[in-house]
Amino acid sequence: MSETSPASNAFPASAPVIPVAMLNRLARERLESAFPLCWVAGEVSNLSRAPSGHVYFSLKDAAAQVRCVMFRSRAQLLGWRLENGQHIEARVLVTLYEARGDFQLNVEAARRGGVGNLYEEFLRLKQKLDGEGLFASAGKRALPTFPRRVGIVTSLQAAALRDVLTTLTRRAPQLSIVVYPTPVQGDSAGAQIADAICRAGERRDCDVLIVCRGGGSMEDLWAFNDERVARAIRACPLPVICGVGHETDFTLADFAADQRAPTPTAAAELAAPAQAALLARLAGSQAALRRQIEQLLAQRGQQVDWLARRLQHPAQYLAQHGERLRNLRRRLGAGLLQASAHSRAELTRLSRRLLLSRPDPARHAGRLAALAPQLRSAWHDVQHGRRANLDRLATGLTHLNPQAVLARGYSVVTSAQGEIVRDARSLEPSARIAVLLHRGRLEAEVTALFEDHGGPDGPLVPPGAIASSAGRE
């Protein structure tokens, strides 16, 4: 019988072998399914912020601690900054970081420890009133530049009241102050603060209203997160400055007020401008006004001097115009005389031209009688010369008349084509010709051609080779 070792019993050969990654994944799935989202309270420690925006820290108490991570998408929605040492309540998912096998909590949301419910109520009210438009900047009023009376809503025992009074006395001692006392802490404080604000609005005996309280925890300031206080501030006809808590504290009253101040002292500074600054501004304005008035008076004085130089006594004014009228009369008389003399001289010149241009019939008649014989003699001479020239031209024309030449026994011979025959060699034997005589015309046929008027050289063509015929017209 064989022996079996203890090791072989603890690790049977049939047990599967799984990798680490699978083990961590299975463990993560078991953790996430076994633990739904839950709230865990603890103190923040070992906090670090990665460049990616993720926040890594540990939550611890007196007995243990656990690693936590808040991814960037969740951290951006937090609304306040996580710091070491803070006590918070975190809504977490229990899980395992598979890459390192680290047990950790994925933080989905966080709230300050001890005031988680109050803070959630604050966020709920803020979202509600903001949705109604109660915090819209369009309806907020501007603070008065020069208030005469300031109202204060706070507790008579509050240190904030002393700070506000001290600041107002130092900055603007001329202001009147009205205090509307009311508790600023406790269960009924919210309603009483709202009543005090409503009372100040009904009385309207001040120009601006300060609602203030010193610093404290969220529970201490909770009266100013009352919905009735926020609505009373918005309904108040007076401009409202809210100076509750310290600079990092925000309440619903801050969002509803026309102006939010980080502290009560700052609220007093906003409500009342500094008297020294106002006096300096007034002195500057007074000096500027004085300079403008002096400059205006100097300009008006110069204008008066200029007008005074132009201003004259009526008698002097009439004397000047009388002298001017006499000068114009003298100039008018001289001008008329000069114009008359010029007109007379022009009339004389035109008269002479008229006398020179007027005809003399008797003188011109004698001259015409003397010129008439000369004209007749010249006309006879011209006529005789023209007649002699005409006779000469007629004689020359007679000599050039072809009919006269033909009358002397000459004739004109033309070919059958009508061309004048000047050379016997231009014709052929038996050619038809026309002979123009002084009286009549002959048509003939060439029977013989001679070189020179039928001389001893003989004919150009034998006579027996040519037949002739003639006709007379």
Q: For the segment 406-451, what is each residue's pLDDT rounded down to a tens digit?
A: 877 888 899 888 888 888 888 888 888 888 888 888 889 888 888 7
pLDDT tens digits for range 295-319:
888 888 888 878 877 777 788 878 8
Mean per-residue pLDDT of the chain: 84
Domains defined for the chain, CATH in brackets: 20-114 (2.40.50.140), 120-136+144-275 (3.40.50.10550), 406-472 (no CATH)
Task: Give the number of other CB atoms < 10 A from CB of residue 245.
Answer: 24
Task: Give the number of other CB atoms < 10 A from CB of residue 408.
Answer: 7
Which pLDDT band holds residue 364 (cuts at 50, 70, 90)?
A: confident
Which pLDDT band holds residue 14 (cuts at 50, 70, 90)?
A: low
Q: Exposed e or buried b for every residue in 48-66, given b needs 16+ CB within 10 A?
A: eeeeeeebebbbeeeeeeb
Query: Percentage of the chain with pLDDT > 90?
Result: 31
Residue 276 has pLDDT above 90, yes or no: no
Quote the CA–CA distance of 109 and 70 in Å, as a whole number. Answer: 8
Segment among 154-158, 307-311, 325-329, 343-347 with least mean pLDDT: 307-311
pLDDT tens digits for range 77-104:
887 788 888 888 899 999 999 888 999 9
pLDDT for residue 460: 53
Residue 466 has pLDDT above 50, yes or no: no
Burial bucket for residue 444 (CB in 10 Å: 0-12, 13-18, 19+) = middle
Which pLDDT band holds residue 397 (cuts at 50, 70, 90)?
A: confident
- Closest by alpha carbon to 194, among 160, 225, 239, 162? 225
* DSSP bridge partners of 107: 92
Are the CB atoms for 251 and 212 separated by under 8 Å?
A: no
- Closest by alpha carbon to 473, among 446, 447, 439? 439
Residue 45 has pLDDT above 60, yes or no: yes
Q: Which residue has the tokens 């802490």?
A: 185
Assign residue 454 a region: left if phi > 0, alpha if psi is -120 to 50, beta otherwise? left
How close are the terminal C-alpha atoms of the chain, in Å? 190
Region 189-208: what's the mean pLDDT?
A: 93
Q: Which residue has the tokens 């900055």?
A: 171
Residues 6+ apart with CB under 8 A from 115: 217, 218, 219
